[in-house]
Structure 1
Amino acid sequence: MMGSVKLTVIGGGSSYTPELLEGIINNQEVLNVSEVWLVDVEQGKEKLSIIEDLSKRMVEKAQCSIKIVATLDRREAIKNASYIITQIRVGQLAMRRKDEYLSIQQGVVGQETTGAGGFMKALRTIPVMLDICKDIEELAPDAWLLNFTNPAGIITEAILKHSNVKVIGLCNNPINFYKKFASTYNVSTEEVSINFVGINHLIWITGLYINGESRIDDILTGKSDIYEAKNIPSFGWDLDFLQSMQAIPCGYHKYYYQTDQILEKQLEQLRDNETRADQVQEVEKELFEIYQNPKVQDKPQALEKRGGAYYSEAAINLIKSIHSDSKKVHTLNVRNNGAISCLPDDVSIEVNCVVEKHQITPLQVGEVPTQIRGLLQKVKAYEELTVEAAVTGNKGTALQALTLHPLIPSVERAKNILADMLPVNEQYLPQFYQEI
């Protein structure tokens, strides 16, 4: 049994929190969590209160001795925490909707983690996350920060470059691949081994092994299908394309490889006010109505519609590995440090890592095939400039970042997007509006 653990969730009023709490309860024998602190901002006060009540009912039903504390006092929540999970949304779902609508209206893909929408979300979020990190440095310097806040790779990179916090970026994409292939081949996830190369929401599978036997050709030849995220339109993959690539793309690659189809679908959704942002608002409303019911004591099935399935499992598995010094392999967002030789050392990458109590080490990827390297380097350069723009508030850097993104076709379009989006986000972007 480990020493007792204080776990803090920043963005505790999120609809995802019940799934995280379920994971903590189910692993309490190993984790020995004594307190879970849920912290949020004033605008999220009502949701936080609903999550607090549901969390207490879940703990009571499980007959756990976990103390649930909900607060708007972030510093108190961070103080002496062992693990801190960030899942914040600066500007709430209203700004996500504006990101998507303004992008699609400009004739580019609207998405919350990439392209123009992901760019604006990063600009709003990075200063807030770095502010949180100052509190962690002061009040819980030994804590591990597990970041789920999207765009997770960019946010993690900003923290790696501009703070001393022990940060790891997490995504539910890799764990979903493990579960999908385990189900396909009727084996446990322990019998599945996957080689990943890339950055958050832009990872390629370059090796798939079931009990040590390579099965990647099953996917490349269409004998077997792959994991499809519920929140991304599915048009299938062209098998000639997959075979010539010799790798399996993740769902988010569709924004790059099937841009025309995605955009056509989004323009249709925009006309009907049914974009992904609209759908998420509906699901969120439905979830909180369920959460409010005093008879509900479990995580509801409807949560799966939110698109973040198994994220808590990824978090809990990682916490268990760190705490027990397991030396297990997890797929994480960490500082590159030469693991992917065609990218700078100081950027965030998403690869397999060995997890120890005192450190997390990315495994060497080796030579990256040209057909992967081309898109990877371009999107990573966009991410580097986005971090710089968010920290400095330099509009020129912001323009260069957007223009470089593969989903933005021209300088003119990038300028129009900035002219549209910066004023709408003014209250969240003081760095761009300070008096010179």
Structure 2
Amino acid sequence: MAAQVSLWHHYLHAIRSREAPRAQDYQRAENTLLAVLERVHALDPRFLVDYSRDLQAFQFSLRSSEDPLDMEVPLQVNTEALLIEELGAPEPGDGPALCRLGVPREAVGLEQWRTEDVFSTSEDEGNAECCGHIVPGRVLRVLKALLVAAIVHCRHHSLIPPATAACSLNAASLSEEQLHLSLLVSSGWRKIRFNIVPVVRRKQGAPTLERVQLMPGLPEGTLRRILGHGVDLVPASPQHWRTSSGYPLSQLLSGLGSLQGHRLDSLSILDRVNHESWRDGGQSPGLTFDHLKMALLWASVLFPAPEDWAELQGAVYRVLVVLLCCLATRNLPHPLCPGHNLLRGCGLDLSAIYQRVERFASQPEMSLRIHVTHLGRIPPPRIDNGVQVLLQLPASDPTYWTPAYFDVLLDKFQVFNIQDKERISAMQGTFRKTKTLSTEES
């Protein structure tokens, strides 16, 4: 057991040793990108530069993966004067509802958003209230042209390093295919890909965000600040916008870092394992950092006790059992909008990913080596093949999505170390229920 504990901490130490250099790489890349966005704003004041959010740097330092990072470009528009026309979700469970941004006929101060480069005149002549809409596809085209012009200007005036220096930009990677503009920024030997996303800031919140009150342990003031931010709008199609909860989720993750325990350490370890083992060093498609972040947020709700996160190996398994259940049932609920399945339509081979994650959970030592010489004796597998049947239960009966059910899974993986009598009793009751169910089905 002592050897296992040291292995987990040795792996975490290796990850932490890279945090400072990664943070420095991100800072250099962000400085370059901000210089370009400042020029974009000078060319077209409708596009703002947001200096207020430092959560991307925080998340980048936690990661080993090289997935793209979002860089939001706020639009200078008074959303309270706009008509936000809700259209509903494309399919039940697909996610946030779509909407259109209508411009009132009598609106004052929106003239700059009624120019044809970003505006589409309404074809409904009977609509006395709305004269047309701000179209995200057109906004993206304008922003793309501005970015190209800004990069040329900044290089010509030496506002950003040339391509051979420490930081450079690859304008050739700009595209509109994914409803954002992808820009590759070199920082030293590392290349960081940013997704440039136009965003409409909204002051009013959404009822679904009240679910963050279920996040135990976070100070009340933190929750109030997250709730008070509101819900932003980002492109969902060339014609439609959708709500985005990326900022409040990142705020929740940052809040977890203020609590004692290994919550964020567990995320860093799983992201490194995902990148190196489950995605073959980033060469294969698979889970993203955001998928793992959602699993951690759910685990933090399901396991609120500080003792759940006091020991590193146990903390990792709290996230693992949630992740395995989601993969087995093919449903990762959005923490703030549980009806939205984050695995739906992701295009991933979830069965293959499940097999890799289960293999790690059963015998993690193989993936925790930093170098082949660090690998000692491999303990036997922790579980048998029957665990997948247990993991399928929430798909047919959502009432299993409870701490007692996940405690049963922790016990299966030999990492249930809780002494609370009520919790042990609840876990044992759920275990008996699953045994009875298995007997009836057989």
Structure 1 length normalisation: TM-score?
0.25
Q: Quick check: which has more Rg, 1 or 2?
A: 2
Q: What is the TM-score when the length of structure 2 is the normalising length?
A: 0.25
